[in-house]
Structure 1
Amino acid sequence: IPGGTQILSGSDDQTGRVWDLASGNQVRQFAHGGPVNSVAIRADGLFAATGSPNNIAKLWNNMTGAQVAELKGDLALNRAVVERTEDQKVAQQFKALAEAAFKAAETNQKERDEAVKKAMEAKANADKAVAEQDPKVKEAVTKAEAAKKAADEKKDDANLAKAATDAAAEVTKQMDELKKRQDTVASAMRAITLAEQAQKNSVEQVATAKAQQDAKTAEVTKADANLKAATDADAAGLKPVKSVAFSVDGKRLLTAADDNLIHVWDSTTGKAIETFAGHKGPVSAIVTGPNGLVVSGSADQTAAVWTTTPAFSLIGQLGPKKETPLEFAGSPFAARVLSLAFSRDGKWLATGGGEASRSGELFIWDVAAQTIAKEFKDAHSDTVMSIEFSRDGKYLVTGAADKFVKLWNIASCGTSPRENWSRHLKGTRIMCSACQSRRTTA
């Protein structure tokens, strides 16, 4: 331990212990929970690490003896579990939406069935009313004919003439009532036609909603299986830890295990950073050197040299032509590039920018070819300030200085956005795609 007055030891008694060299007394103890076969102390003496065959390494605060973090598993496998967990949650959300849509469709179908029933009842009542009116019309016609005949025989009889006039008026009245009831029958028939069409549509909607529900249920089943596979793989990836070591600059903690990998962690928080893969056998020892160098020894009878500070090199420059990289006149970018986003699979890169108050540019680039794969014409009326791909890669959501948030279907990039919202009072800068394809927050 720095200062030369203390040492750190590990033991099969499942502890790491700090000892005072002068007195031989124990200063503090780290209860690992498994046999400790490897220990390390950071250069500044503030943190310690212990490794064990119980598949776990632990990071400790050497000043207090408190555990800072438990280090286990493979970063890639851990990430797979996180991603599959997210996939499962998304699938469950879509299933819940599909179930709600199916229930709504069923309720609508019941309402349409009831509407048809009521329309049929109204038609039956209208038919009954017509049937009841027919005799009245016939009776009125018979009386009118008789009254007219009597009046014709005695044309000078005013009473008979008035009776004939009144009888004719009664015929008109009864005929009008019959016409009214017949119109009601026609209206009822139209209502039946409309109700039956709505009923037919509701049956189709139920079938569609049921198919969607079944599809989303299948996606949940698939997501559950994928999560289980990822969880099982993560659990299977837990292997006995053989060696722990801090980098010389104290920024990284490295662990080696029987999974043939070297794992790199943040030495202060214990957060996983990266993994070095290359050995074909368990890694039994690691040692760190200056400038981020790491040397590992493995059961595959090799020693390998790694670096925790890899150099970055420019792969390409998007915009100007490759043969004339400094001639910006030929660049598709009108002005500054303000936003970037990679698709989940890393194949596409979306760029956003444009001229302030004049245009909003939006491109999707083929990363491997470094060429424009898709261009969204007139994406916004002002600079695009934020971009995000949906989880399934089918949609792109953008926020711009024109105060709009827009959702684009990547397959039909040349057309108008699928959705656009304008409730912000100023330009939209920050977005997060929260669901697989159709939800976003800004």
Structure 2
Amino acid sequence: DAATVAQGEEEKRKTADQAVQEANKVVTDLTAKAKVAAEEKKKADAELTKTTNEAKAADANVKKLAAPAQKAVDEKNSADRTAKAAKRTIERATASVKKATDAIPGLDATVKQKEQQHKDKTTTSETAKKAATDGEKPWRMVAFSPDGSTFAVGGDDQKVHIFDGETGRAIDVLEGHAGPLSVAAFLPDNALLTASTDKAAIIWNVEMQWKLVQRIGDGVKSDIFEDRVVSMHFSSDGKQLVTGGGEPSRSGEIKIWNVADGKLVQALKEPHSDTVFSVEFSRDGQYIASSGADRFVKVFQVADGKFVRAFEGHTHHVLGVSWSADGRTLASSGADKVVKIWDFRTGDQQRTISGFGKEVTGIKFVGDSVNVVASSGDKNVHMKKTDNGGNVRTFSGSGDYVYSVSCTADGKIIVAGGQDSVVRIWSDDGKVVVSFAPPEPEKKEEATSGGSE
């Protein structure tokens, strides 16, 4: 019926209203949740923006700090390397100090030995002077040679004394008379005639004579020397001779000989890897310095041939080496056109002296001074100061390459020779004393043809 239908419709309407209300409620809840979510999203977006900005700022700071940080790291690494190098330098310096310290007793002993030798020589000299004063006897005759190069004097000591006419240096003493000398005269052939109260007259041959005293090797046997002998030097007491040479590009050779009998004292074992160009005894006779084509300067003990120290620095063949008077300094000359000065005690290079036009072929300390004379292929001999490298003077006059140089023990006379075959002698002030040129070759007489036309 209608009432039932109406009632059903009312139930449906109520149900629909309730559903709408529930739907509205759901929508309201969802809207509220959406609003909350939107607020949360807004906060999250703000937080994200803030975090992003902070991240960007952090990245900027990282980039800004990266360069200084890397620089700091590099500086730290560099400092570490410097520290390690300094440590190695300190270790080497400590070793050098130890070597130098170890060497001091030997050097002190050498100094004391030299002082004692000087004292002994002074005592001997004073004794000799006293004996000479006590035994002075008058000279009663004098005679000059025809060329004035020498003169002879004699008197109550019954001896004939020969002197150099230019320098006054004693040359020889002739003994044979049994009484005081009264007359002396040079003959035309330069012989000297003397007469004495012993009723005797003597004719003397006063010409300087050179005699072969000793020969080492005969130029044939290969067991004496390996190859050429290009350098040699006598010990200060004249009892030993050291020779240097060797086979080019294969071996260096150093041998020590007894002068009296020519016998081999010892041969140093493999002293250099190439030819030895120069050898020299130290003044005290304890060491030998050598230099060679292997670009090294080396020092060995004379007593046992033991290697002492090597000095490296030349860039070409080392052609010469020399000891200072006190044995504490070495000077070397080379084909690299320089002179190098070394501290023997530590092995350190003190300085390099340049200014040479060509190879520096030889070198020698001048007496007890700090000066050296050096021969060079630039046709000159140069005197240099080893303490500051300064030039003292140049000895000129050579016509070609100068190969070698030396000087007297007191450093007053300098002698050099070279390619022009002339030996030149200078005084230490640079003045030429004398020059010895080679003899002129004998002229062959032209053959004349005989017969008649």
What TM-score comes out, normalization by structure 2 length? 0.43
Larger CA Rg, structure 1 vs 2:
2
Instruction: Tell which has more relative contact order, 1 or 2 (C-alpha 8 A, sep 6+).
Output: 1
Which of the pair is proportionally richer in strand? 2
Higher helix fraction: Structure 1 or Structure 2? Answer: 1
Tell me the TM-score normalized by structure 1. Answer: 0.44
